[in-house]
């Protein structure tokens, strides 16, 4: 894994790979995008254009998706490189009796 301590975003991704126990490399391109390689996947992360409602664009296998936060970037990255990962982002709404006060 490449060392990225001078760049907070690269360091976040590097530490995430360690936490997920996934071997990979991370580097910035000359244009400022981030390239993450893990297994057979190459993921490109870059700031979204100003005309989009997203902060980041994440490209995996030729498909780009928007991400509104770093958490969303991490979710997309992990889903792409960790076959055992199942995101738990469902909201459940159920009717229940009022809680006595």
Separation CA 11–CA 24 (nearest Å): 13
The ranges assigned to domains in the chain are 8-81
* pTM metric for this prediction: 0.76
State residue 2's pLDDT score.
46
Residue 11 backbone phi and psi in degrees, to 5: -65, -40
Which of these CATH numbers, 3.30.43, 3.30.457, 1.10.490, 3.40.1000, describes 8-81? Answer: 3.30.457
Q: pLDDT tens digits, residue range 23-70?
A: 999 999 998 899 999 988 999 999 998 998 889 999 998 899 999 999
């Amino acid at each position: 894994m490449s060392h990225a301590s001078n760049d907070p975003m690269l360091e976040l991704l590097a530490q995430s790979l360690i936490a997920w126990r996934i071997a990979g490399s991370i580097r910035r391109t000359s244009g400022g995008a981030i390239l993450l390689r893990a297994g057979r996947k190459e993921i490109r992360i870059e700031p979204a254009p100003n005309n989009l409602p997203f902060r980041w664009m994440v490209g995996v296998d030729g498909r780009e998706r928007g991400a509104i936060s770093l958490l969303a970037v991490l979710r997309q990255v992990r889903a792409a490189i960790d076959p055992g990962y199942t995101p738990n982002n469902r909201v459940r709404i159920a009717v229940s009796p009022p809680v006595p006060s």
